[in-house]
Structure 1
Amino acid sequence: MVAIEILKEKKKALQLKQKVTDKIEAAFSYWLELYELLLQSQIPFEILYLACITGEELPTWTEHLEDLTSKGYHFKKDLLIIAENDIIPPIVRQLFPGKQDWITHYVPNLDLVVSQEYDSQKGLQSCIAKITVSGKVVVFFGKVSPIIILPLNDLLRIVNKIDLPFFETMYVTDENFNWLIYCSHKQDWYAGYKM
């Protein structure tokens, strides 16, 4: 009886490890490409956090970060936040209420600045011109970790080089969440101030 319980626990642990590994590989690989782009472009940036994870996910994440260290990346474990849900995206969605579109993507109730603009630099530039913003910005994506801070003019310089998964969304805001620039999965660009 005890052996069966031990086997069940091992199976559960392996399933959790595989689930977390799949999650890391699905989203984190895109982050590594963005991280490399930021380094190569010599852009000053700060990582607010790599990911929000549960306590039971921590060992797999720690193992993954140690593996990345052996490959020359240096991400500290303290950039992982133990929380059941992500922190910043829900805050932004609460401050900038919106609706869900046909694939349950959030779309804020902000002015549509340009529709289906696949040149991200033009889309971002149009939004910046509409709401007249500058300085450091908080950038995050719908599916890809982490959350980073960098100068808006540097983001504008590299935004066309950011390679993200299909159906990804991008959020750009200031550190106090006073305004939001949002690029939908359809490359619709929205911008506006908090109400």
Structure 2
Amino acid sequence: MQQDPRPLVRAALDRARRIVGGVSIEQLAGPTPCPEFDVRTLIGHLAATLERSVAIGTGHDPGTLPEFLTSENDDWPAVLDAAADRYWQVWDDDTLLDKPVTAPWGTFPGRVAMFMELDELLVHGWDLAVSTGQDADADPELAEAALEIMKITLPEAPREGFPFGPPVVPARDAGPTERLVNWVGRESAPWTGHPS
């Protein structure tokens, strides 16, 4: 897999920024498809995945970092932007794409770690969008590309060591973003209204 993931990650991050920017203060305590997170902590978790990717890219243990970031004044777009800036300070380096890096689920080329971050951005972006009544569908070409990559990097089974459940059978009318979240084990039907 020699594709440069950076354009895809940038597009997914732009989408995540738009979604986070569309969340109102009143929605921050609402539920999400991740039962352990409300909207506020899910945004904090999404930002934390970028920080953990920084740790992976710089050879540090991502497990030493918090699972989610916090914001004293709930300025979540600023929190996400700051984490994204730190992410690109590391991952804009061409040499990192093929350099072996170590994450909790194994050692592999840096580009694979970037593809995993792409999945985090798209799936948690979907989580936040459906939780807050926003358009949950990513650009179809972006979502299709991410889905094809995830089918290569994330096996259908077994998934021991990966932070994903077994795949969910998508609804017949599911678009590519919903099929992506189904592939990583997300039950989308309760949030989309699509029959499973």
TM-score range normalised by the length of the shorter chain:
under 0.3
The structure that is strand-richer by fraction is: 1
> TM-score scaled by structure 2?
0.25
Richer in helix (by share)? 2
Larger Rg: 1
- Tell me the TM-score normalized by structure 1: 0.25
